[in-house]
A and B are shown apart, each in its own frame.
Chain A
Amino acid sequence: MNWLWILLALAIFVVLIFIYYYNRFVVLSNRIDNSLSQIDVQLKRRTDLIPNLIESVKGYAKHEKTVIKSVSDARKSLVSAKNTTDKLAADSLLEKALGKLFAIAEAYPDLKANTNFLELQRELSTTEDRIAYARQFYNDSILSYNNMCQSFPGSFFANLYGRKPKEHLKIAESERKNVKVDFKD
């Protein structure tokens, strides 16, 4: 009779472990999806800010057509990009074009003093910050998910539930540091 109870307790314990690992994988992979959508949210915010920026630049610096065009072209390629890797590549182009635009703005004191322009500049630089952090969190989430998939006993359950290791976002962290332009003081 005692043996039955011990077997029952053991069976319940095993079932609980199976449930625990199943949930663990769900939580970790949801976190990855969530952080990916966070990147998209910030990129979307950025594309929404650009038209206003272009409008306010046009008001003061009409003649800088090439720079304005390069910004709006970069925005277009960001909007049309399909997956996150392409979007991030387009975003780094956009960041370069914006860097040029803000450098040129230095020559137009009226533009530089425009509160609307300053506000947009600030917003764009904070969204860039957030994209970098969202990407970092995405890669962190991938790392903890992959650690779970590849180390024992997680690997056993990963096979069982058909979970495979996922890829990190490719663009190097150093690249974003290079294109980051900060004109504050």
Chain B
Amino acid sequence: MQKVDFNDQISRNNWKSFFLIFSIFIIFIALGYLISFAFAPGYFFLIMIISIIFSLTYIWLTYYNSGRIAVASVGAKPASHEKYKLYHDLVESLSIASGIPKPKLYVMESRQINAFASGRNPENAVICVTTGALEKLDKEELRGVLAHELGHVANYDIKYMTVATIMVGMIAIISEMFLHSLWFNGNGDNKNVFLIIVGVLLAILAPIVVNLIQLAISRRREYNADASAVKFTRYPRGLIGALKKIERENVFPEKKVSKAVAPLFFSNPLKNLTSTHPSIEKRIKALEKM
């Protein structure tokens, strides 16, 4: 097995995040330019200033609330200390093992065994597990899954993955919303021709954006997080057990999860993605070699 250099991975994640955020800024400016060109060439400067302000606000808001947005988008709730003692205990001891602060913990109502981590850095990280995972996994398996998520936190995968899924994913969601409003508010004046062109462009854009997200997130991160999990727990059996249970139990796709945030999850919550998650057999094989 090749040696994983976690420091390299951290700096790669930081650079990629920066690049992605910068691209988003440029895309918004370009959109502003196109809009002013198409509808109101006279107000060029005003529109450009508005689009700069808009894109900076958008980036600022999504960046600083990324964890919260991810959690809200799947309808998760904070995990109380009283009700979820084992969950809190396990994460506390694992955060000691990994030397990062304890993330905020959330629980998501779902029969699937799954989990994800999000946030812009370890200090502002969130971890969310499904009720299915809490019910069906035993202590060591749950510990393995949580250690995997803490691995994503420690390696700064959460930063890049959150920027990719939330910041870019929001564009997909917004463009879908824009498209919807077009179908319902058509009142036949000639500006609508442009609106329809923009709408069609966005309709093409949305799935491309989702595909881009999936392309941008490589499978290597999952292998590395598995390796981190073993480094923290010194016990690959727990994680292997969890993966085997997932293979058996997660038969039905989870409807509540949007395509844009699916790559964040421990195991693929929808059945049609293959580029972001390595197959469970391959992950088990890699773990068995450790």
Query: Which A residues fall within an 8 A CB radius of B?
Result: 31, 34-35, 38, 42, 122, 126, 129-130, 133-134, 136-137, 140-141
Contact = CB atoms under 8 A, between A and B. Distances in A.
B201 interface: no
B98 interface: yes
For chain B, what secondary structure do more than half of its interface residues adopt (helix, strand, loop), or is it mixed?
A: helix
11 contacts: A38-B96, A42-B96, A122-B85, A126-B89, A126-B93, A129-B89, A134-B96, A136-B234, A137-B98, A140-B231, A141-B99
Nearest to B99: A137
A31 B100 CA distance: 11
Contacts of A140: 99, 231
B290 interface: no
Contacts of B85: 122
A155 to B, nearest CB: 18
Nearest to B95: A133
A2 B99 CA distance: 47
A122 B92 CA distance: 14
Interface in B208-254: 231-232, 234
Given A130-B92, A130-B96, A137-B98, 16 more contacts: A31-B99, A34-B99, A38-B96, A42-B96, A122-B85, A126-B89, A129-B89, A129-B93, A133-B94, A133-B232, A136-B234, A137-B96, A137-B97, A140-B99, A140-B231, A141-B99
A137 B89 CA distance: 17
Nearest 7 Cβ contacts at the A-B interface = A133-B97, A133-B96, A130-B93, A126-B89, A129-B93, A133-B93, A134-B96
Given A133-B94, A136-B234, A35 B89 contact: no
A42 B97 CA distance: 13
A156 B79 CA distance: 49
A133 B92 CA distance: 10
Contacts of B96: 38, 42, 130, 133-134, 137
A126 B96 CA distance: 12
Interface string B80-112: 000001000100111011110000000000000
Contacts of A42: 96
Nearest to A130: B93
Contacts of B94: 133
Given A126-B93, A130-B92, A133-B94, A35 B234 contact: no
Nearest to B98: A137
Contacts of B93: 126, 129-130, 133
A134 B96 CA distance: 6
B138 to A, nearest CB: 10
Contacts of B99: 31, 34-35, 137, 140-141
Contacts of A122: 85
B104 to A, nearest CB: 19
Contacts of A38: 96
A34 B94 CA distance: 16
Contacts of A130: 92-93, 96
A35 B85 CA distance: 24
Of B89, B232, B234, which is in contact with the most chain A CB atoms at under 10 Å from its CB? B89
Nearest to A129: B93
Interface in B28-80: none
A133 B93 CA distance: 7
Of B93, B96, B98, which is in contact with the most chain A CB atoms at under 10 Å from its CB? B96
A35 B97 CA distance: 9
A137 B93 CA distance: 11
